[in-house]
Amino acid sequence: MFIPLHDANHLRHIKKQYVTIGLIAANVIVYFLTAAGGWEAAQAAAFSYGYIPSVAFDYADLPPELEAVPGIATYITYAFLHGDIFHLGGNMLFLWVFGDNVEDAMGHWKFLLFYLVCAVAGAWLHGVMAPLSDVPLIGASGAVAGIVAAYLLLHPRVKIWILAFARIPLRIPAWIALALWIGFQFVMFAIAGEDQISWAAHIGGIVAGAALVTVLKRPEVPLFDRSIVTPDAVVTDNSAERIASDVHRPRGPWER
């Protein structure tokens, strides 16, 4: 639908988005570790660490050699696996653009909790909608969907750069792009149900993210920013008076 590129929104409460960076690093490392072993190793990892509804709801059992972690742990471990580099790249780009400001609004540890709970909510709703499925659910999309929902509630008026339809660069208020993205998830769930993309996992993350941000954000952080935030580094003074005075002021002998 769109590719996020940049948001004009600087950090206010933290110096660095350590958790966001750490999550991206963890996802990238896990991807390359699983991909390094080839297709068979990646498949084994998906079944060992992915979320399988039929296993989670005790309708089926994994072979002993694939039982790498307790079933309940897969509600989280699935979110660190990705099917290919494009799956990974899309999720990490959303996490990079929007995660830092959600982390800023909550603080490091609360943001980590928020991210993991959104992942759990995505897996849970996916399982509820397809409890007999024996196909592993993998990917950070549920957690990332929660971040999108939280960002929309925190900073709807911030201007963001996106590539619409992966081709057209636009700079628009966040609420337009993110509300459309969220609406698209619900429409696709109604139309397509559970196909190769788990729309239910996205919706689970969205609902959890919207609910949790109101609880986990700092008390002094408001919902629905009333002003458009611009990074300090790009604030300029383009007033006509300043330009005119600069043009007509006397210049010294060493100036050109």
Per-residue pLDDT at 8: 83
Per-residue pLDDT at 234: 40
Q: Which residues pair with 66 in a beta bridge?
A: none
Q: At what angle are helices 85-106 and 199-216 packed, to 10 degrees? A: 20
> For the whole model, what pTM was predicted?
0.86
Whole-number Å distance between alpha carbons of 222 and 199: 29
SS3 67: coil
Those residues whose C-beta lies under 8 Å from the C-beta of residue 86, and which sit 6 or more positions away, are none
Per-residue pLDDT at 222: 94
Instruction: State residue 171 phi and psi, 5-degree precision.
Output: -115, 110
Whole-number Å distance between alpha carbons of 82 and 62: 20
**Ramachandran class of 4: left when φ > 0, alpha when ψ lies in -120 to 50, beta otherwise:** beta
Per-residue pLDDT at 231: 44
Contact 131, 59 (CB under 8 A): yes
Whole-number Å distance between alpha carbons of 208 and 23: 19
Per-residue pLDDT at 227: 58
Those residues whose C-beta lies under 8 Å from the C-beta of residue 159, and which sit 6 or more positions away, are 7, 8, 171, 172, 173, 174, 228, 230
CATH numeric code, 2-231:
1.20.1540.10
The per-residue pLDDT string of the chain (256 residues; one tens digit each, 9 = 90 and over) reads 688 999 989 999 999 999 999 999 999 999 999 998 888 989 999 999 999 999 999 999 999 889 999 999 999 999 999 999 999 999 999 999 999 999 999 999 999 999 999 999 999 999 999 999 999 999 999 999 999 999 999 999 999 998 988 788 989 999 999 999 999 999 999 987 666 789 999 999 999 999 999 999 999 999 998 655 544 444 444 444 443 444 444 444 433 3
Contact 22, 109 (CB under 8 A): no
Contact 19, 115 (CB under 8 A): yes
Which pair of structure tokens corresponds to residue 119? 């992942």
Q: What are the structural domain ranges in the chain?
A: 2-231
Per-residue pLDDT at 194: 62
Whole-number Å distance between alpha carbons of 192 and 195: 6
Whole-number Å distance between alpha carbons of 173 and 251: 42
Per-residue pLDDT at 37: 85
